[in-house]
Amino acid sequence: MRYIEAPAELGPDSGGPVLFLAGGITNCPNWQAEAAEMLRAEPDLAVINPRRTVYDQDAAVEQITWEHTHLHRADVILFWFTSGSLQPIALYELGVHATRGAPIVVGTDPDYPRRLDVEVQLSLARPGLPVHRTLAATVAAARDLLG
């Protein structure tokens, strides 16, 4: 697996499928590290992580632009919503990419406060798209979608 963490760039030729780890990066656990570990054995996969090791508020515009660019380059976008944080930007990104028809996989912690909103909105925008209840199930679904 190739691991690309913001602000590093994917590069023009990924050489294989690209998975973007979309979801909370502020005031929530580092679930991206756990997801990346689950994908470690995938040799041709590029995993894109928007969570920076060190984040400076002065880099906000750069971060937003980086995420926008890499979300549109991904072959599959994995959305995970943790409990304890609303993650409004991730909800916005989910709406954008669900309605544009991007290949997405979605999961929420059972205690995520807006789980019902995610389930209902997705049932309207993407009927039949499941909302997984564990990170492991969400990662497995992404792996399946990638082939």
pLDDT tens-digit profile of 69-118? 999 999 999 999 999 899 999 999 999 999 999 999 999 999 999 999 99
107 Rama sector, left if φ>0, alpha if ψ -120 to 50, beta otherwise: beta
Average pLDDT over residues 58-71: 95
Q: How confident is the model at residue 13 (pLDDT cuts 50, 70, 90)?
A: confident
Total domains in the chain come to: 1
The upper half-sphere exposure of residue 136, i.e. CA atoms within 13 Å in the direction of its Cβ, equals: 0
User: Among 103, 113, 96, 144, which Cα is nearest to 27's?
Assistant: 113
Contact 125, 99 (CB under 8 A): yes
The pTM is what?
0.96
User: Among 65, 77, 87, which Cα is nearest to 9's?
Assistant: 65
Residue 123 to residue 58: CA distance in whole angstroms:
37
- CATH at residue 84: 3.40.50.450
**Whether the predicted pLDDT of 14 surpasses 80:** no
Which range marks the domain in which residue 130 is found?
Answer: 2-8+14-146
User: Among 132, 133, 128, 127, which Cα is nearest to 105's?
Assistant: 132
Contact 5, 49 (CB under 8 A): yes
Partners of residue 105 on adjacent β-strands: 78
